[in-house]
Every structure is written in structure tokens, then in C-alpha cells.
Structure 1
Amino acid sequence: MHVRVTLIAAARSSSLLAERFDDDRPLDQAGWHELQLAAHTLVPYGRAELRYCSPTPRSRATGDALGFAPMAQPMLSDCDMGRWRGRTLAEVTAREPAAVDAWLGDPRSAPHGGESLLAFISRVGRWMDTRPVDDGGTVVAVAEPGVVRAALVYALKAPPATYWNIDVPPLSTVTVTGHSGRWSLRLAGRAA
């Protein structure tokens, strides 16, 4: 049974430097503006048989603005950052530099008391592996950039450290096709 899963990164809720762990702020003005500009290319994904979103305000707002009426999916939550929730990387680094180094260097580490990177990637992968659609079915999910990165690492069976090298801009899309445990990355577009 093959499934096509398209992940759309939620519109932004803050500038990159102001992003906080487990950020649950709504879309900012720039995010709404970018969403209006990109909507015409993203709305067609709403034809998917199943439509989901991360349970964050910006993911829900992005999906709703696109007309998806997505169902919030807890397994698409961003990584649980424990006591670092609501802080920026700079703030945490200033207070706990050794803990940040451990977190960045060891995918099994969770010095913040939340979820390790490896556990996060595995959770997102379990969600992908259990999509209930018929052969050739389609799924769309609006999710936090971290969730999109985790899905790509899982789909490609890449080392967990690859997570840190994937850039997922707001409103970008990526599609993976396959079935439980066997996924392929599908790039869109053709050269002229």
C-alpha cells in the first residue's frame, strides 16, 4: 500500500532569531502576508483524502487559512523541550551551555527533561507509518518545521544528526511516498 504524504511547514509566528522552543504563538503579520502570497500554490494540496496539522496555533491557522479544515494530530507536535519550553536557543545557551552541547551532540540526550531528538524522530515516523489510506492515497499535514525535518530524517533513514542540516522555511512543502518503513523523497517541479 503506497501513500503520498505532503508536509507543509507552517507560516511563521516570529522572526528566526526570536523563535522559542515549543513556540505556541499565533501567526504574526509577516506570516499572514506570506501565507496570502503563497496560498494559490498550496490550496490544491487540500484535495488530499486526509488533512492534518500540528496542534500549534500557527499550524492550525495555516491549515484553516488554506481551507484544509485539518484535524490536529498530537503525534505531529514539535519536540517536547521540557524546561526549555518558551526560551530561545540563545537564552538556554547562556544558562546551560554544557546541556545545549550535549543536546546538539547526542541524539539520545534530553538534558531539558523532555524528549530526545531520537525519540522525536521516531514518534513522527510512527505517525507516517500508520496513515490509514487506500493504495495511492494522499495525505497533507501542516506542521512545525522541526516536524518536517524529523519526517525527512525518518523517511530517508538518515543519521539523526542530519536533522540539524535540513532547512525548512515557512510554507515550504515536501512530499514522501511509500508505506510503513519504506519511504522515498519526491521532489516537485521540472527544469525548463
Structure 2
Amino acid sequence: MLAERFDDDRPLDEAGWYEVQLAAPRLIPLGAAELRYCSPTPRSRATGTALGYAPLAQPALRDCDMGRWRGHTLAEVAALEPAAVDAWLADPRTAPHGGEPLLAFITRVGGWLDTRPADDGAIVAVAEPAVVRAAFVHALKAPPPTYWNVDVRPLSTVTLTGHPGRWHLELAAVAG
């Protein structure tokens, strides 16, 4: 796995490509969905393409804009700006990094989710773990700080069924 860095748009590395190949038998069938989307990051686009999804990049599925913290790890930023990190973790409306507040990020991802077609057609989206966490919080109508208590592993799947205001989650184990 790549080191977790804020708003990181590095492409898949060799280990990432290997992990996609291992997960492919489980994930390729999802490509039968009528609509296939991905985050605009190189990693998400490459993953969707490698799985044969031919996904349409959706700007609303991009990772949270982390401003001047972009590309750094939490540990690096905490060493340089401990008070700012504490404020950011405590209040989802703040953006001491100069980027997007957590609440705005969750609202953006949730807004995208709520505007998907309401028919019974299947949709697949390839996105960073942070985007999936934001979708969880929105779908469950959970308080924004819940975001910090959701772990999403790369190449895992979650199924959301329902419609705006009434989502249901189905979690699948990561095979590998």
C-alpha cells in the first residue's frame, strides 16, 4: 500500500498493480453495472481501467482538498502544526490547511450519491478510501466526526442500495 498522504494523486505503483490483479477476479464482475464512475485521480482511473470498467471520471468523487497539507502524512503535519491538526480533527467545519472542511467534503460526496439515477440500475464507482468513508457517513446520516471511525481498505467493496435519504450498506470482506 502507498503511504497514506493527504489528497495524494500519485499513480498506482508496482505493488498497487499487483494488488489490483489479485483482486480482479472478485471485482471484474462489478463492471457489468450500467453506469461506471471513478475519482479523477490517476490511481482510481488506472484501477477502473485495469478492471475493464471504462469508468467516467467524476470531479465530485475527488479526495478532500487538503490545501497546503496536500501530499503530506498526518504525522508530518502534526509535527509542524499540532494545534491546526487538533482543530481540524475536532471541528468538521474548519479547514486550517486552507482547503476543504470535512463537512463540505462529506456534503459534496453525499450530494453526488443523492443525484444518481433512482431506478434499479447498478452503478460502480472506484474512489479513494476517504471518498468511501464520506459516502458511509452521508448514507448513514451519521455525525461528521464518525468519519474518523471508519476504516476502508483499498480494493474493498461496499454496496449502497436505496435512494436519497434512505440508504442501506452492505460490506464485503477484502479477499486476498
Instruction: Please indicate the TM-score interval, normalised by the length of the shorter structure.
Output: over 0.9
Q: What TM-score, normalized to structure 1?
A: 0.87
For residues 1-27 of structure 1, the C-alpha deviation after alignment (integer angstroms, 9 at most, x for no partner) is xxxxxxxxxxx5x1xxx3211111111
Residues 187 and 90 of structure 1, relative CA distance in 2, 3 Å threshold:
closer
The answer to whether structure 1 residue 170 and structure 2 residue 150 are counterparts is no
Q: Distance in 2 between matches of 1:168 and 1:88?
A: 17
The 5 Å alignment of 1:34-53 reads: 34-53=19-38
Q: What TM-score, normalized to structure 2?
A: 0.94
Q: Distance in 1 between matches of 2:83 and 2:123?
A: 40
The answer to whether structure 1 residue 137 and structure 2 residue 138 are counterparts is no
Q: Are the counterparts in 1 of residues 160 and 169 from structure 2 also a CA contact under 8 Å?
A: yes
What's the secondary structure of 1:137's corresponding residue?
Answer: coil
Q: Distance in 1 between matches of 2:96 and 2:142?
A: 23
Partner of 1:6: none
Q: Are the counterparts in 1 of residues 31 and 53 from structure 2 also a CA contact under 8 Å?
A: yes
Match of 1:85 among 60, 70, 92: 70
Question: Greater RCO between the two (CA within 8 Å, min separation 6)?
Answer: 1
Q: Distance in 2 between matches of 1:92 and 1:24?
A: 18
Partner of 2:15: 30
Structure 2 residue identity aligned to 1:167: D
Q: Structure 1 regions of 5+ residues with no counterpart?
A: 1-11
* Further displaced range: 98-107 or 174-183: 174-183
Structure 1 residue identity aligned to 2:124: V
For residues 144-175 of structure 1, the C-alpha deviation after alignment (integer angstroms, 9 at most, x for no partner) is 00000000000001111111111111100001
Q: Distance in 1 between matches of 2:39 and 2:94?
A: 24
Higher strand share: 1
Structure 2 residue identity aligned to 1:148: V
How many aligned residue pairs are there? Answer: 173
Q: Structure 2 regions of 5+ residues with no counterpart?
A: none
For residues 80-133 of structure 1, the C-alpha deviation after alignment (integer angstroms, 9 at most, x for no partner) is 101111111111111110000001111111111111111100100000010135
Sequence identity percentage: 77
Cα RMSD for the two superposed structures: 1.2
Partner of 1:156: 140
Q: Distance in 2 between matches of 1:188 and 1:67?
A: 21
